[in-house]
Amino acid sequence: MRFGVVKNWDPSKGYGFINTDEDIDVFVHISDLGAGLKAEEMEEGLYVKFDVKSDMKGDKAVNVRKA
């Protein structure tokens, strides 16, 4: 599990980036928000915890929840 801060979030597109505690930006999609976290709550500066999944496009945050 990793921790980070929402760097940016585009509600009209349903995605954004989380800056991890290791200062790495990780992509996050609306479909990867975990239970208890709504898209409306995703705003710049929100501290979150998440898992990282790698695919052909790179790393992405999954199971994103409030920390």
What is the topology classification, in CATH, of domain 2-66? OB fold (Dihydrolipoamide Acetyltransferase, E2P) (2.40.50)
How confident is the model over 13-54, as pLDDT tens digits?
999 999 999 999 999 999 999 988 999 999 999 999 999 999
pTM of the model: 0.92
Q: Is 63 left (phi over 0), alpha (psi -120 to 50) or beta?
A: left
Domain boundaries, the chain: 2-66
- Contact between 13 and 27 under an 8 Å Cβ cutoff? The reply is no
Integer Cα distance of 44 and 54 in angstroms: 24
More confident of the two residues 4 and 36: 4
- Contact between 48 and 37 under an 8 Å Cβ cutoff? The reply is yes
The pLDDT score that the predictor gives to residue 61 is: 98
